[in-house]
């Protein structure tokens, strides 16, 4: 079943596209989508409850495969979520699994804003069609085991996170929070946050949080429209 990868937001709304796909699916199978949904639910439930289903249920994850199958760059998972969403829909409609794990994608802009250093991703620090890569690094040093065991939060905040996310490097300059019990308390370090690097940190973290919230909302919406029974 063909899906126009440029349709969302340009030629038709997502809801309108789903209505069209619903009609095509019902015509293909001679059943309503509600009936097809119940068949899949029954098949999966029978397998879970140790009954013999009408056939072995099939599940899948869209992930990189959806982009490959639809013929779009892997970078769409990070930077062009409308196109990647269409790729996921095409994959699900063509393979018709009984259940599936579908994500709206990963936010490349969030990775960019946070200056992620323990991974490379397509369209960001890698060419558009090269898969995600984990970057090996010494994110915890041998002499830091005692610090980790004595104060895990301090290690994570002032050592681990600044090494993994470049934007968080200023956190390494903070004194241990355990030293703020008594004396001047937290007010003793307020001057740190007037420094340019902390102002930049706050600005970029705010942008990253807004982008992450947008992605979360889009993911919830995609899950709802691809799993609910449409009346």
Answer yes or no: is pLDDT of 110 > 70.
yes
Ranking 2-16, 39-53, 102-116, 156-170 by mean pLDDT, the lowest is 2-16
Q: Is residue 140 part of a domain?
A: yes
Answer yes or no: is pLDDT of 29 > 70.
yes
Q: Is residue 54 part of a domain?
A: yes
pLDDT, tens digit (0-9, with 9 covering 90-100), for 37-53: 999 999 999 999 999 99
Is the same domain home to 89 and 130? no
Residues paired with 120 in a beta bridge: 133
Give how many domains the chain has, as a whole number. 2
Is the same domain home to 119 and 179? yes
Q: Is residue 224 part of a domain?
A: no
Q: Is 79 exposed, middle or buried (0-12, 13-18, 19+ CB in 10 A)?
A: buried
Q: Is residue 49 part of a domain?
A: yes
pLDDT, tens digit (0-9, with 9 covering 90-100), for 142-195: 999 999 999 999 999 999 999 999 999 999 999 888 888 776 778 888 888 899
Residue 72 · residue 5 · CB < 8 Å: yes
Q: What is the pLDDT of residue 9?
A: 44
Q: Is residue 227 part of a domain?
A: no
Average pLDDT, the chain: 87
Is the same domain home to 154 and 183? yes
Task: Tell me, yes or no, if the pTM score tops 0.85.
Answer: no
Residues paired with 134 in a beta bridge: 119
Is the same domain home to 58 and 134? no
Domain that holds residue 157: 115-211
């Amino acid at each position: 079943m063909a899906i126009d990868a440029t349709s969302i937001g340009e030629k038709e709304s997502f809801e309108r596209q789903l209505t069209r796909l619903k009609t095509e699916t019902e015509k293909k199978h001679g059943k309503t989508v509600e009936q097809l949904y119940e068949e899949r639910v029954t098949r999966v439930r029978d397998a879970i409850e140790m009954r013999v289903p009408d056939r072995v249920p099939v599940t899948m994850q869209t992930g990189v495969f959806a982009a490959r199958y639809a013929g779009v760059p892997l970078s769409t998972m990070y930077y062009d979520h409308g196109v990647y969403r269409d790729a996921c829909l095409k994959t699900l409609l063509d393979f018709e699994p009984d259940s599936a794990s579908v994500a709206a994608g990963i936010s490349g802009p969030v990775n960019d804003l946070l200056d992620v250093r323990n991974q490379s991703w397509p369209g960001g620090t890698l060419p558009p069609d090269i898969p995600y890569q984990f970057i090996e690094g010494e994110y915890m040093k041998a002499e830091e085991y005692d610090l980790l065991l004595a104060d895990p939060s301090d290690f994570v905040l002032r050592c681990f996170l600044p090494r993994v996310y470049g934007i968080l490097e200023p956190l390494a300059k903070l004194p241990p929070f355990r030293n703020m019990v008594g004396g001047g308390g937290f007010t003793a370090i307020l001057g740190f946050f007037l420094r340019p690097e902390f102002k930049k940190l706050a600005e970029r973290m705010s942008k990253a949080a807004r982008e992450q919230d947008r992605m979360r909302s889009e993911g919830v919406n995609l899950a709802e429209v691809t799993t609910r029974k449409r009346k």
